[in-house]
Structure 1
């Protein structure tokens, strides 16, 4: 057991190793056996791994407004480019999770004078599918307006019902099937790389995290941000706010250096 943990320490996160150790322990207990995971040598190895590797979760970079502008500006003028533009801007402005983005149907979008009202039918923290609405206001810059982008995508792809974000083949043909969660991450990474950014620093969650940190940096309060993100855990949300306010709410700016 100790040898296994030592071998895997270079490729697996401490949290993953802890879950595997816990699973092994449960299996032994279910069969009335003593678990090797309680052996002092095994515990010592786990402690050493945590000290060496650290236990802080890996955090992807939140996409800043500058990142989003660069990504959008470098998208190709193709069917795929139009879809990716709409996905990036809707995901960022709506602070949507990957699963919420790909679950959107045309019927979930309702036009208003101020922009679009988007119905989120189910989310990670809404397993009873009570649903909620988020607003997508018109952007001041046509290049990064989420409302314009999604309307142009739907018009170009001739989508009038069903999934909003769909697969597109290499010939530019739009499929009837919706994108997967993983596709969102791939689109974000590909767009980042095309814009000259490090794709390893970005994921599908970068859009949602980017909204929260950007809104906080621009002075939005906790309630305003939570209204858009739908966070039920204020502690998680405050982590984004702290990151977004590192410079705007920092005593170091008053040192006079």
Structure 2
């Protein structure tokens, strides 16, 4: 959930409303079809593409493994992120058939993961994934047009609100003045 939100610059509502039928895999990437997005005022839907990286943290590989472990078939129209329940008779955990995961539960999972990594969970929230992905892309020098399209921002001002400049990038301004 975290890797997908980070790589796709997804808002919680976009992440929570993803259904299996909204995900298409290609050999080198996946496509998420966002049926509803805050910036999609005409409700046309938006595609977000996420590349395979070959790393252990590859969001495409992780999503494929998750769908397999969660036993969510390709033709399913179910939400991919849902609450789980324990089935005593089978001695296993299963995804509920109900609606998508709640904001509160998704936030609890994120904060628990951050806490286990030794990070101060008071400094983060679900929106940190969108902002973090955007900041990493900006620092990598991604073309502004592609950057804005990937994040589904209509204006540069909206996009820039998500990017947190590092001190090194900020110092580069005065460093490159030739003084």
Alignment partners' CA distance in 1, 2:176 and 2:102: 47
Matched, 1:248 2:161: no
Alpha carbons 1:115, 1:138 under 8 Å: kept = yes
Q: Distance in 1 between matches of 2:166 and 2:119?
A: 23
Whole-angstrom CA distance in 2 between matches of 1:126 and 1:155: 31
Distance in 2 (alpha carbons) for counterparts of 1:255 and 1:244: 18
Q: What is the distance in 2 between the residues matched to 1:174 and 1:240?
A: 33
Structure 1, residues 107-149: CA drift from partner, whole Å, max 9, x if none?
10111122101100001122432101011110231x2011111
After superposition, the CA RMSD in angstroms is 2.0
Q: SS of the counterpart of 1:248?
A: helix
Map 1:33-182 → 2, pairs under 5 A? 87-141=1-55, 143-160=56-73, 161=76, 162-169=78-85, 172-177=93-98, 178-182=100-104
Distance verdict in 2 for CA 1:248–1:140, change over 3 Å? farther
Superimposed CA distance per residue, residues 145-201 of structure 1 (whole angstroms, 9 cap, x where no aligned partner): 111111111111111211111112356222112202333222221111111101111
In structure 1, list runs of 5 or more residues that go unmatched.
Answer: 1-86
Aligned residue pairs: how many? 168
**Does residue 133 of structure 2 align to residue 211 of structure 1?**
yes
With normalisation by structure 1, the TM-score equals 0.61
Change (3 A) 1:200 1:91: same
CA contact (8 A) 2:5 2:130 kept: yes
Unaligned runs of 5+ in 2: 87-91
Which one has a larger percent helix, Structure 1 or Structure 2? Answer: 1
Q: Is the CA contact 1:216–1:245 (under 8 Å) kept in the aligned structure 2?
A: no
The normalised TM-score by structure 2 is 0.85
CA contact (8 A) 1:167 1:175 kept: yes
Partner Cα distance (2:167, 2:123) in 1:
19
Q: Distance in 2 between matches of 1:113 and 1:239?
A: 34
Asked if 2 retains the 8 angstrom alpha-carbon contact of 1:100 and 1:120, the reply is yes
- State the SS of the aligned residue for 1:225: helix
Q: Find the aligned partners of 1:164 and 1:219 in 2 and give their Cα distance.
A: 32
Greater Cα shift, 182-191 or 202-211 = 182-191
Find the aligned partners of 1:97 and 1:181 in 2 and give their Cα distance: 11
